[in-house]
Amino acid sequence: MSQFDAAVFEEFILEEKVAGFFEKPIQLKSGRQSHWYVNWRSVTNDVFLLDKLCDFILDFVEDQKLSVDCFYGVPEGATKTGLLAQYKWAKRQSHFGKGTHVLAMGRAKAKLHGDPKDRYFVGQPSGRTVVVEDVTTTGGSLVATLDQLQEAGVQVVAVLGLTNRGEKPVDAADGVSVADRISKRFGKNLPYFALSHAHSLLPKLAARLKPSSEVLSALESEYAAYGTAPLQFR
């Protein structure tokens, strides 16, 4: 076991080009426009890098002293991450053996009929479950996944986002952050953690990639409009 180091994790993001900038904005799934992106696919498509990513996750969980039986990745962006994290976690446990741990996997599209365990999952999570999401924006996909898990009777003990974009939910009634939105819907005993956060990551990303002043100004405007906090590069 080693301790989770947020600065080392951010350097991993920068080194593996997980995040970057756009001169012209793209539309996110939330419907908002943005001049920057986070995409973990290059890491999760590489076995060596995915293994390293999962080590970061497991170290974080151990640092937080979370009691965990199962990891579950939000389909489909974190599916592979959840699978490998669960495999590596199970192997770390002293009681690891036949029948001690499930390998949980969700369906990208739920079946229309049947029990929740068949409609939503290829393998249903079991025991104290940590939900892993690759990129947290407004929390829509995450809440939908948590709704499915709740319907299936899964005990979710924590939610981990690899990167939190630091944006408010689209509906102000959901609160001022994704953590707020989760708390309002599922109770204050379900914590949301982010392994990296836009407000810490973006200045380092800008220093590394040196985008135009127009892009930086646009990002400051984005976060003034719907960020959980303002963002300033200068």
**CATH number, position 194:** 3.40.50.2020
In sequence order, what DSSP letters do the residues of 184-230 get, joined into one string? HHH-TTS-EEESSBHHHHHHHHHHHH---HHHHHHHHHHHHHHBSS-
**Rounded Cα distance, 26 and 24, in Å:** 7
Q: Give the structural domain span for 151.
A: 6-226
Count the domains in the chain. Answer: 1
pLDDT, tens digit only, all 234 positions of the chain: 679 999 999 999 999 999 999 999 999 988 899 999 999 999 999 999 999 999 999 999 999 999 999 999 999 899 999 999 999 999 999 999 999 999 999 998 999 888 988 899 999 999 999 999 999 999 999 999 999 999 999 999 999 999 999 999 998 888 899 999 999 999 999 999 999 999 999 999 999 999 999 999 999 999 999 999 999 997
pTM tops 0.85, yes or no: yes
| Residue 73: closest CA among 57, 59, 60, 96 | 57
Q: Is 231 part of any domain?
A: no
**Rounded Cα distance, 201 and 182, in Å:** 23
Q: Is 234 part of any domain?
A: no
Q: Is 132 part of any domain?
A: yes
Q: Is 232 part of any domain?
A: no
What phi-psi label fits residue 99: left (phi over 0), alpha (psi between -120 and 50 degrees) or beta? left
Q: Is 233 part of any domain?
A: no
